[in-house]
A and B are shown apart, each in its own frame.
Chain A
């Protein structure tokens, strides 16, 4: 990988480290973390035990690193800085401002599109399977089929999942529920000379049964919720209940109906 410090003597040196990092090939999934966010030490709580040469790495990210370091040391600090930036990134993207930045990238399809044919190229979002660094690489979540996929390019497949976190895409949809696409019951039906396969058809009937059961359960559950029961009550009370419902992630009946169908 290109090293920022190595081309330090170039004219590029005047550029900010974060800009250089985001422009490096393979880092397309990252968004720019606000400088104020990095400078607020509260946001970095605990990262000093996670990252070696923490203070130098932080100085490098904020472009305050002392230049009198030897080559070898710079490489180490550089590596730490990338790791530190990733960990800060994971925290930043679930803040309000971080979510809007990632939303822009989602709309531009910076994370690629779902490889599943029946998802019709729906844009993906990065997600981790573990929040612990160095454990699992980043995966891509499709909100249409609600499944996760490996990135196409090996450059992206080697990014640490911890730089995005397990919660990010789901947090995004909690905040922007209107982005959740309508779910479809389409599925691929294997056929031999036009005939369906018995075993597969049995499994499909089982899946249909599961889907109908969960649909009925959700409908019954929603009917029992205060949101719908409060329809006759005063507006002030209803607002309060709606707010409570939003907070616990409970949907209004009409919203959930649209999702299920």
Chain B
């Protein structure tokens, strides 16, 4: 069986799921779908189309074009081919070799009869790709790709009102697969949120890793938005609720953001800048 047959089978296996998922969500998030649809077209539409000829599409491009995979960057073939970059992954991913062959569109070897089902290799390939992706997106090339996706708004925007819909980036809280799903990091409030669309609720956070989001803003500090810091003050009929009230504000520290340049190492405001309001 050729790799292309594999692909076609995969697609048959996966397509109905995706279609269902999309239908299910159309109700709730039709507007969002539209936006993502647009991005899809813009990003992949020119040379890659899911409908026309999956036979001619490399596995990585096909995988990234699937619904719910909009967060993924396309890992360069050279990166996957370099064994050094894959160190240690063979002990995490089952059917590592078959999965790697699938990712690289190589013909599986004749003696690989121990593989019981294509769908198992397919799941392994997804996990392997995710873990390679985690490593790739902290390289120079990967960061560049993700920075472009970030600026194009592929990851959505922060749900917090005072962040003024600033763009967010995917991140994980754990680097090992199977622990938690993907979260979104907002560079303005420096907090993490669940993706609004349920299609991302089964995407593993390890595929993006704990480091990437912060590395991105470390390498591209110009991507950090400049938004005036605002803290929500609860009020009734315009009167602020007293701190001494049992239900008075207790969490305002959480959104209290200061320019790090105005703070000393122990977190105190440097005296020269006492014109800054607290």
Instruction: State the A residues within 8 Å of B (CB).
Output: 115-118, 129, 139, 141, 143-150, 152-154, 166-167, 169-171, 173-174, 177, 180, 183, 187-188, 190-194, 197-200, 202-211, 214, 217-218, 221-222, 225, 248-252, 255-256, 259-260
Whether A203 pairs with B258 at a CB distance below 8 angstroms is yes
Q: Is the C-beta of B154 less than 8 angstroms from some C-beta in chain A?
A: no
Q: When chains A and B are docked, how far (Å) is the Cα of A217 from the Cα of B162?
A: 27
Known contacts being A166-B238, A167-B235, A197-B214, is A148 close to B29, with CB within 8 Å? no
Q: In the complex, A203 Cα to B269 Cα: how many Å?
A: 10
Query: In the complex, how many angstroms separate the beta carbon of A130 from the nearest chain B beta carbon?
Result: 11
Instruction: Output the residue of B215, B236, B252 with the most chain A CB within 10 A.
Output: B236
B161 CB → nearest A CB, Å: 5
Q: Is B190 a contact partner of A146 (Cβ separation < 8 A)?
A: no
Knowing A117-B193, A170-B234, A183-B250 touch, does A148 contact B162 (C-beta < 8 A)? yes
Main secondary structure, interface of B, reads: loop
Among B159, B165, B238, B246, max chain A CB count under 10 A is at B246
The interface size of chain B toward A, counting residues with CB under 8 Å, comes to 57
Indicate if the CB atoms of B268 and A188 lie closer than 8 Å: no
For residue B213, CB closer than 8 A to chain A, the reply is yes
With the chains together, A238 CA to B34 CA distance in Å? Answer: 62
Chain B 200-256 residues near chain A, CB threshold 8 A: 210-211, 213-215, 218, 232, 234-238, 241-256
A129, B211: Cα distance in complex, Å = 36
Partner of B193, one of A115, A252, A259: A115
**What residues of B have a CB within 8 angstroms of the CB of A148 in the complex?**
160-162, 232
Contact with A along B46-60 (1 / 0, CB 8 A): 000000000000000
**Chain B, residue nearest A208 (CB):** B267
> Contact: A218 with B252, CB < 8 Å?
no
Partner pick for A214 among B29, B213, B238, B253, CB 8 A cutoff? B253
Q: Which residues 169-203 of B sit at the A interface, judged by CB distance below 8 A? A: 173, 183, 185, 190-194, 196
B1 located at the interface, meaning its Cβ lies under 8 Å from any Cβ of chain A in the complex: no
Instruction: Please name all residues of chain B whose beta carbon is closer than 8 Å to the beta carbon of A204 when the two chains form the complex.
Output: 267
- Is there contact, CB below 8 Å, between B248 and A152? no
Check A170 against B246 for contact (C-beta < 8 Å).
no
Asked if A203 and B260 make an inter-chain contact with CB atoms under 8 angstroms apart, the answer reads yes
Identify which of A116, A153, A194 contacts B191 (C-beta below 8 A).
Answer: A116
The chain B residues found within 8 Å of chain A, CB to CB, are 28-29, 31-32, 159-162, 165, 173, 183, 185, 190-194, 196, 210-211, 213-215, 218, 232, 234-238, 241-258, 260, 263-269, 278
Q: Are A192 and B211 in contact (CB under 8 A)?
A: yes
Q: How far is the CB of B244 from chain A (nearest CB, A)?
A: 5
Task: Tell me how far the C-beta of B202 lies from the nearest C-beta in chain A, rounded to whole angstroms.
Answer: 16
Min Cβ gap A178→B in Å is 9
A200 to chain B, nearest CB (A): 6
- B265 in contact with A174 (CB, 8 Å): no
Which residue on A lies nearest to B249, using beta carbons?
A146
Kindly list chain A residues whose C-beta atoms are within 8 Å of the C-beta of B234. 141, 146, 169-170
